[in-house]
C-alpha cells in the first residue's frame, strides 16, 4: 500500500467509535478539566497532620485519591517534602526492595501518518530518513540486544502507518521471540517484549495479546483536550482525543491486563497532567479492578523539524521533574515507574531515590542502529537526542555499587502473575519474595554470560548479600534457590519461581 488514496482509505477505517461510545457521556470522557483544576486550587494549604495521614496511606500501598494527590502536588514546605521523600523510599522498599529492571527500546519503523507537532517522525518532517526493518533486520537487531548486550526485555516502538500496521507488528514480535544466541555459558534471548505502539481496535488488541506481549504502553501525551487538539492536527488519526483516551479500556476488553500509561511532560501544566494520570489509573481500577502496571513520564526533547518543542511554554525544570516522580511514587504505590535515557546520567541516578523501578540501557533509537558500527546520534534517523548513552554493563556496575540488584526476571507474565493477580500480590508484598528470588537467578545468568570483569566484581558483592538475606528471611525457599543457582552457575538457564 503506497499511494495517497490507499493511505487515506486506511486512515479513515482506523477509528471505530462504536467501541468507545458506551463509555462516553454527552461527548465527555472521564477526564474533567474543571474538576481537576478545582481540586488543585482547593488543596493549596498543606496541613502537616493531613500530609502525614496521606503518606501513611501510601506506605500501606493504597492508591491515593485525587484530593490527596492534589495536596501532595501543592506541598512547598521543605521539611514536608523531605517527609514525602522518606515515605517514597519506604513505598519503594516495600514493593520493589532494592531491585531495578533494565530494558532496551527497539525502534522498528518511523513511517507515520500522523503529524504530532513535537515528534521527529511526523509526516511533515520531510528530512526524516524513513525506514521499516524487514524481518531479517529485526532478527539482526535482536541478536545484538540479546546476544551481545544481554538484554532480556525490550520495548518495541512503532509509528502509525500501513507499512508497520498490526500485521507487521505481530510478525516482528514473532521474529524477536524466535532469536536465541549462544553466550559465554548459556544463551541470550528476549523473554519479554513490551510494546509502545499506536492505539488499536479491540480486534487488533486481541492479536497483540495472542502474540505474548508484556506491557501494552500508550502515552496520552496530554490529558488537556484543548492542548491535545492544538498539537495533533485535525484529520490525523491521533487527533481523536477520546479514541486514544479509551485505548486501555479496549485493551482490557481484548484481554490485555498489563498496561502502561504516560504523559509527555512539557506540553501542558505538569500538575494538571499528574492529576490526570492518577485519574486515568483510578478509572481503570474502578472499571477493570486493575491499575497501570507502569507509568512513564518522558520530558519533551528537541526533535528534527518540530519547532514546537522549543516553544510549548510548559518546559518542566529539573526540580519540578523530581517532584513529579515523587508524587507519582506516592499516589500510585503499586505501579512500576520508568525513567529513560532521554534523561541525563545524573537525573537517572537521582531518580533511584524517588522510586524509579525500570530504566533502559545501551539505548539506541535510530532504526537499525544496534546492528551498525556507527553510534553517532543522527537526528534524521531518530526521534530525538538521548541524554545518557551508557552501556548496560556500565549502568549495572553503577547500580551494584549503589546497592541495587538488576533483575532480568520475566517470570511474572509467563506464569500468569499479571493483571489483578499481580496487583494484589504487589499490594500485599507477596510478589516481592518471588521477585527477590528471580532477581538473584537472572542476575547470576547475566553476570556469567555478559558482564565485564569489573562489573562482575561489583555484582558478586550484591549477589552474595542477597543470598544471605534470602537464607535469613525466606528460609523456606532457600534450598530450592540454591539448587537453581547451582544449575545456573553450571550453564542451566531460565529457571524461575
CB atoms within 10 A of CB 128: 24
- 200 contact, one of ligand SF4, ligand SAM, none, CB 5-8 Å limit per kind: none
CA-to-CA dists, residue 420 to 294, 329, 493, angstroms: 14, 19, 29
Q: Does 119 bind ligand SF4 (CB under 6 A)?
A: yes
Alpha-carbon distance of 252 to 292, in angstroms, equals 11
Q: Does 238 bind ligand SF4 (CB under 6 A)?
A: yes
DSSP-assigned letter for residue 494: -
* Spatial CB neighbours of 36, under 8 Å, sequence gap ≥ 6: 66, 272, 275, 276, 279
Q: Does 400 bind ligand SF4 (CB under 6 A)?
A: no
First to last CA, the chain: 46
Tell me which stretch binds ligand SF4 (CB under 6 A): 59-67, 99-107, 112-120, 320-328. 112-120
Comparing CB distances to ligand SF4, the nearer of 301 and 448 is 301
Least spacing, CB of residue 118 vs ligand SF4, in Å: 7
- 339 contact, one of ligand SF4, ligand SAM, none, CB 5-8 Å limit per kind: none
Q: Does 122 bind ligand SF4 (CB under 6 A)?
A: yes
- 248 contact, one of ligand SAM, ligand SF4, none, CB 5-8 Å limit per kind: none
Residue 346: what are its φ and ψ, rounded to 5°?
A: -70, -35
Least spacing, CB of residue 211 vs ligand SAM, in Å: 17
Comparing CB distances to ligand SAM, the nearer of 192 and 238 is 238
Q: Does 456 bind ligand SF4 (CB under 6 A)?
A: no
Least spacing, CB of residue 474 vs ligand SAM, in Å: 39
Contacting positions for ligand SAM (CB under 6 A): 118-119, 121, 157, 159-160, 196-198, 218-219, 221, 264, 298, 300-301, 303, 309, 342, 383-384
- 300 contact, one of ligand SF4, ligand SAM, none, CB 5-8 Å limit per kind: ligand SAM
Tell me which stretch binds ligand SF4 (CB under 6 A): 119-127, 292-300, 322-330, 331-339. 119-127
- 197 contact, one of ligand SF4, ligand SAM, none, CB 5-8 Å limit per kind: ligand SAM
Grid cell at residue 192? 519479554
CB atoms within 10 A of CB 226: 10
- 295 contact, one of ligand SAM, ligand SF4, none, CB 5-8 Å limit per kind: none
Run of H or E including 466: helix 453-473
Alpha-carbon distance of 490 to 496, in angstroms, equals 16
Alpha-carbon distance of 420 to 281, in angstroms, equals 13
Comparing CB distances to ligand SF4, the nearer of 236 and 391 is 236
What's the gap between Cα 497 and its chain centre? 24
CA-to-CA dists, residue 153 to 173, 177, 212, 363, angstroms: 12, 10, 13, 12
Alpha-carbon distance of 300 to 122, in angstroms, equals 15
- 122 contact, one of ligand SF4, ligand SAM, none, CB 5-8 Å limit per kind: ligand SF4
**Rg of the chain over all Cα atoms, to the nearest angstrom:** 22
DSSP-assigned letter for residue 163: G
Out of 88, 91, 112, 278, the only residue in the binding site for ligand SF4 (CB under 6 A) is 112
Run of H or E including 423: helix 419-428
Comparing CB distances to ligand SF4, the nearer of 118 and 408 is 118
Out of 51, 104, 116, 263, the only residue in the binding site for ligand SF4 (CB under 6 A) is 116
Residues making contact with ligand SF4 (CB under 6 A): 112, 114, 116, 119, 121-122, 159-160, 238
Amino acid at each position: 500500500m503506497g499511494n495517497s488514496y490507499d493511505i487515506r482509505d486506511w486512515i479513515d477505517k482506523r477509528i471505530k467509535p462504536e467501541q468507545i461510545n458506551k463509555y462516553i457521556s454527552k461527548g465527555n470522557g472521564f477526564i474533567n478539566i474543571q474538576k481537576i483544576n478545582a481540586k488543585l486550587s482547593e488543596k493549596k494549604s498543606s496541613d502537616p497532620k493531613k500530609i502525614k495521614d496521606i503518606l501513611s496511606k501510601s506506605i500501606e500501598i493504597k492508591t491515593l485519591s485525587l484530593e490527596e494527590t492534589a495536596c501532595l502536588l501543592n506541598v512547598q514546605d521543605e521539611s514536608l517534602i523531605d517527609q514525602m521523600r522518606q515515605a517514597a523510599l519506604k513505598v519503594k522498599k516495600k514493593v520493589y526492595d532494592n531491585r531495578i529492571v533494565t530494558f532496551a527500546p527497539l525502534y522498528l519503523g518511523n513511517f507515520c501518518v500522523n503529524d504530532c507537532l513535537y515528534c521527529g517522525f511526523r509526516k511533515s518532517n520531510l528530512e526524516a530518513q524513513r525506514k521499516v526493518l524487514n524481518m531479517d533486520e529485526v532478527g539482526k537487531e535482536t541478536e545484538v540486544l540479546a546476544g551481545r548486550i544481554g538484554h532480556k526485555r525490550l520495548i518495541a516502538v512503532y509509528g502509525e502507518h500501513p507499512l508497520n500496521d498490526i500485521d507487521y507488528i505481530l510478525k516482528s514480535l514473532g521474529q524477536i521471540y524466535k532469536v536465541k544466541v549462544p553466550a559465554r555459558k548459556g544463551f541470550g534471548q528476549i523473554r519479554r517484549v513490551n510494546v509502545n505502539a499506536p492505539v488499536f481496535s479491540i480486534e487488533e488488541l486481541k492479536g497483540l495479546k495472542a502474540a505474548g506481549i508484556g506491557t501494552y504502553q500508550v502515552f496520552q501525551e496530554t490529558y488537556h483536550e484543548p492542548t491535545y487538539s492544538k498539537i495533533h492536527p485535525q484529520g490525523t488519526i491521533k487527533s481523536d482525543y477520546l479514541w486514544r483516551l479509551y485505548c486501555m479500556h479496549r485493551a482490557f476488553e481484548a484481554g490485555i491486563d498489563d498496561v502502561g500509561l504516560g504523559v509527555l511532560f512539557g506540553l501542558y501544566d505538569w500538575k494538571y497532567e499528574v492529576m490526570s494520570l492518577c485519574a486515568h489509573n483510578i478509572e481503570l481500577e474502578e472499571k477493570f479492578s486493575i491499575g497501570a502496571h507502569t507509568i512513564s513520564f518522558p520530558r519533551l526533547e528537541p526533535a528534527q523539524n518540530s519547532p514546537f518543542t522549543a516553544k510549548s511554554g510548559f518546559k518542566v525544570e529539573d526540580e519540578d521533574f523530581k517532584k513529579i516522580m515523587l508524587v507519582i511514587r506516592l499516589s500510585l504505590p503499586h505501579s512500576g515507574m520508568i525513567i529513560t535515557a532521554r534523561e541525563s546520567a545524573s537525573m537517572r541516578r537521582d531518580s533511584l531515590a524517588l522510586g524509579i523501578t525500570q530504566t533502559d540501557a545501551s539505548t539506541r533509537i535510530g532504526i537499525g542502529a544496534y546492528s551498525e558500527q556507527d553510534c553517532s546520534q543522527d537526528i534524521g534517523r531518530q526521534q530525538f537526542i538521548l541524554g545518557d548513552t551508557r552501556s548496560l554493563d556500565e549502568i549495572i556496575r553503577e547500580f551494584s555499587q549503589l546497592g541495587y540488584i538488576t533483575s532480568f526476571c520475566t517470570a511474572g507474565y509467563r506464569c500468569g502473575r499479571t493483571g489483578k493477580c499481580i496487583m494484589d500480590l504487589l499490594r500485599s508484598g507477596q510478589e516481592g519474595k518471588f521477585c527477590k528470588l528471580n532477581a538473584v537467578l537472572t542476575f547470576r545468568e547475566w553476570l556469567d554470560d555478559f558482564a565485564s570483569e569489573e562489573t562482575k566484581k561489583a555484582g558478586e558483592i550484591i549477589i552474595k548479600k542477597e543470598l544471605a538475606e534470602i537464607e535469613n528471611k525466606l528460609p523456606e525457599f532457600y534450598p530450592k534457590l540454591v539448587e537453581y543457582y547451582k544449575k545456573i552457575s553450571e550453564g542451566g538457564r531460565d529457571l524461575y519461581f
